[in-house]
């Protein structure tokens, strides 16, 4: 149960002051994410200790932890659209809600990302003999974006969203090859199977997936983004945007690690594309 649903369900058990806090939060959860405890207390006309007591009632460690859980709740989708989109919402309302929930999801992902693991992933990628990006279904768009970004670099790179091509690539993999597998759920059987094949052939497998999933257990290194999104029920949008951002982070880390001469090479690539575009 997400924290917004929990507030609504146990609202009757709150004290009078706690109910005031609940009403302010439910009326505008997006505003609460960006509020200080003092601002929320003033808005609800209660004391700051009351806000902290309210947060502990919801089994969070305090106001900062509560805001993280709230951001996570907002980031969840509503069946087939977005969680807080109502059937009578007009374009102004649903545009605002989708942007707010996506920004909340990105902020939560930023806080949950393990930068030590990011640094390790950059180490592995910059030393790779060959990099392959794999994705299935909606994750394939992220894999193709990664291929486009890394294709500018002077390391051989490929991308496959076809299961047979993924399998063949892993069968032919060797030590020094890096397979990056993108899957939010980490439960697609074919993806887990090819991760095991790649590791059996001494390739290094990096998973961009959720912790504790079958795919995570099959990888050498896992980069996890804490985005709660039921992809069996909801459109997997927030997780996809967070994954695209992580790919951008890895590409940036790769560029910085390679140093000045490498940036000169990227500049030459950019210059080489000038003639393909009309001038402004």
In which band, very low, low, confident or very high, does the pLDDT at 178 lie, cut at 50, 70 and 90? very high
Instruction: Please give the Cα distance from 172 to 129 (Å, whole number).
Output: 13
**Shared-domain flag, residues 264 and 190:** yes
Do residues 65 and 121 share a domain?
no
- pLDDT tier, 194 (very low <50, low <70, confident <90, very high otherwise): very high
Neighbours of 171 (CB within 10 A): 12
For the chain, the farthest-separated pair of C-alpha atoms sits apart, in whole angstroms, at 68
Q: What is the mean pLDDT of residues 133-140?
A: 90
Q: At 239, is the pLDDT very low, low, confident or very high (cuts 50, 70, 90)?
A: confident
Structural domains counted in the chain? 2
pLDDT band at 231 (very low <50, low <70, confident <90, very high): low
Whether the per-residue pLDDT at 6 is higher than 70: the answer is: yes
Per-residue pLDDT tens digits for 31-41: 888 889 999 99
Q: For residue 171, give its domain range.
A: 114-272
Is 171 a domain residue?
A: yes
Q: Read off the CATH number of the domain in which 51 is found.
A: 1.10.10.10
- pLDDT over 80 at 81, yes or no: no
Please report the pLDDT score of residue 72 as a whole number.
77
CATH classification at residue 196: 3.40.50.10490
Residue 82 confidence class, pLDDT cut points 50, 70, 90:
very low
* Buried/exposed code over 8-47 (b: 16+ C-beta within 10 A; e: otherwise): eeeeeebeebbbbbbebbeeebbebbebebeebbebbebe
Q: What crossing angle do the helices spanning 115-126 and 238-258 adopt, rounded to 10°?
A: 60
Distance CA 54, CA 194 (A): 47
Contacts of 42 (CB under 8 A, 6+ apart): none
What pLDDT shows up at residue 171? 97
Given 111, 132, 155, the domain boundary residue is 111
Q: Are 139 and 214 in a shared domain?
A: yes
Q: What percent of the chain shows pLDDT beyond 70? A: 91
Q: CA of 247: how far to CAs of 49, 72, 132, 224, in Å? A: 41, 21, 13, 12
Query: Distance from first CA to last CA of the chain, Å, rounded?
Result: 51
29 and 124 belong to one structural domain: no
Q: Determine, yes or no, domain membership for 279.
A: no
Whole-number pLDDT of residue 229: 59
99 and 126 part of one domain: no
> Per the domain annotation, does 189 fall within a domain?
yes
Domain end marker among 95, 111, 127: 111
Q: Is 4 helix (H, G, I), strand (E, B) or coil?
A: helix
């Amino acid at each position: 149960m997400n924290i917004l649903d929990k507030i609504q369900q146990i609202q009757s058990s709150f004290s009078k002051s706690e109910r005031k806090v609940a009403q302010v939060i439910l009326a505008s959860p997006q505003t609460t994410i960006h509020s200080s405890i003092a601002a929320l207390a003033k808005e609800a006309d209660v004391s700051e200790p009351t806000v902290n007591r309210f947060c502990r009632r919801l089994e969070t460690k305090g106001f900062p932890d509560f805001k993280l859980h709230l951001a996570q709740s907002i980031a969840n989708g509503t069946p087939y659209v977005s969680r807080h989109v109502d059937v009578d919402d007009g374009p102004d309302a649903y545009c605002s809600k989708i942007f707010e929930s996506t920004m909340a999801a990105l902020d939560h992902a930023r806080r949950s990302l393990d930068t030590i693991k990011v640094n390790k992933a950059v180490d592995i990628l910059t030393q790779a003999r060959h990099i392959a990006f794999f994705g299935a279904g909606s994750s394939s768009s992220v894999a193709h974006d990664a291929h486009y970004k890394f294709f500018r670099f002077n390391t051989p790179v490929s991308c496959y969203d076809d299961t047979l091509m993924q399998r063949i690539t892993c069968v032919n993999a060797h030590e020094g090859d890096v397979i990056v597998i993108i899957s939010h759920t980490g439960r697609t059987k074919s993806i887990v199977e090819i991760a095991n094949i790649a590791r059996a052939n001494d390739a290094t497998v990096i998973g961009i997936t959720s912790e504790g999933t079958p795919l995570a257990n099959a990888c050498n290194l896992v980069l996890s983004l804490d985005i709660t999104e039921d992809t069996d029920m909801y459109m997997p949008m927030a997780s996809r945007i967070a994954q695209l951002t992580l790919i951008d982070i890895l590409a940036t880390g790769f560029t910085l690690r390679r140093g000045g001469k490498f940036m000169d090479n990227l500049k030459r690539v950019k210059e080489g594309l000038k003639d393909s575009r009309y001038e402004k």
